[in-house]
Chains A and B, each alone.
Chain A
Amino acid sequence: MLYIHHTSCIYPQKELDQPAGPVDNKLMAAEPGYEGIPGNMLRRMSKSVRMGIGAALPLLKYSPDGILIGTGYGGMEDSVRFLNQIIGYDEGILTPGTFVQSTANAIASQLGLLHHNRGYNITYVSRGLSFESALLDAAMLVREHPGSSWLVGGVDEISDHHYRFECAEGWYKEGVVAGEGAAAFLLNDRPAGALARISKIVLRGGENEEVLKSALTGLLDDYPPDLLLSGENGDSRARNWYRIVESLMAPDTGIMRFKNLCGEYPTASAFALWLACNLPGALSERRHILIYNNYKLTQHSLILLERLL
């Protein structure tokens, strides 16, 4: 069984109970000072690398056995920077630094480098299921290696060009707000002192309603959640998926939509998991939480957890 012991998050809000609204349809992360990152490294980092490392760094002191990162579009911004060099200098003599940093595994590998961590190290780039792929990997790792602990993170940034792409494709209509952030978790198989226990992680693809329903039914057999953290973002095309999930909840299950806090981005579910562990005010009474997120209609994830503290 997978237990969350420590969490860390960089996200667009200063106060969760008094959330700030978007500016120009974007919820930009409230970035910290990044004291732990050497200045010469920090200057070369793109925003997603900076946020990813900034969120994960405080958890490295617990010496995880390995590092697992999910990032929907990580590396794209650095890739575009290198691309501009290629075209701008007509494939002439280029500096390799931007190219090396443009690889999506930069966050996980730089964390390994910073902490001399020679253990398992992996990066998932699966759009809306990037973080979930990493989380599921950690669930397998604790089963395979009893007593081990793992750092799992989800990271994405709003970049100018990517925001334009998403607008042009129609993903930011109907009040859908762009977001960004980085969340990191220290996970192991020890119940003592844990913040939460993750009992199920389910990833599904495609647009078959029966597949989602049967995945949900299978997971609700465990125990009925008393709070649904819903990734609904306002896009009417996705509404039906959220209605399906809500229709299978018990009548007294609370529903909390979280994207007004973090905005829409591929690894927003990492923020949702952080939120589930750090619920503000009266919500903290809720024990059994289901997170459902739908990314661009065809990527579905369900995370079922129990709060322990």
Chain B
Amino acid sequence: MRRFADVFARRAMRVSAAVPGLIVLVILLALVGKSRTILGLKSFAGLLFGSSWHPLRGDFGFGPFLSGTLWVTLAAMVLAVPISILTAIYLSEYAPRRVRELAKPMIDLLAGIPSVVYGVWGVLIVVPFVGNVLAPAFGATSSGYSVLAAGIVLAVMVFPTIIHVSLEVFAAVPQSLREASLALGATNWETVRHVVLRKGLQGIIAAVVLGLSRAFGETMAVLMVVGNVARAPKSLFDPGATLPSLLANNYGEMLSIPLYDSALMLAALVLFGVVLVFNIAARIILVRVERRSE
């Protein structure tokens, strides 16, 4: 009887463990299946880089959305990466233990805030700030709903991801290396620069890539501040639209126009593919880092 329970438990757990993996596969297959309709009629490159989005006229160019996604993601990363990594270095190498123990849960808390809350904060604070302060300061006019506003909101949203992973990477750098460096007379900063950062470089790249994929796929917060104009932005103060916002805004129209649902599914597939590749790449790097430090 006990043996039976053991075998049963093992089987049940194996099946449940397979479920998440299978779900990814099922989603992927469903997206591919749905996108085939439009891919049978138009070339993939033409859809991906086409600059005109007018579903009623049969134009399904993702160009403006791809470009908007890249602008927003890039703006977010330029803001988030230096701040996050400096924060992680401070917490890991300089801060007293108590500060670190206090800061860590606070940062993780940031990760748990629902994205619509970030969106509301963006609309109330960031959008007016960009429209009334930043844009005039740079001699531009902007309503505030812009790729920059989305970038700022996103940057705050990816802080926890990058900081958290970087902290783990720094923790994996052997203490003996730091001690050796300090014993040779290196200052704290020299140790950070030549030992900790060099040893952790790959891990930091992985942290950034993870943050990148989070930024790339973020929907609600971006949708609320980005301005949703289906035209490639020319400056940071222009409104834009992203692939996730395209999906969230138009999911409802997909039954009213032929080919629309297929086009949206293709957009979802592109998004899914990019995020999947980012994530797998980051994981591979992280696993390598961990193995080496053992």
Partners in one complex: no
Measured CB to CB, the residues of B under 8 A from A are: none
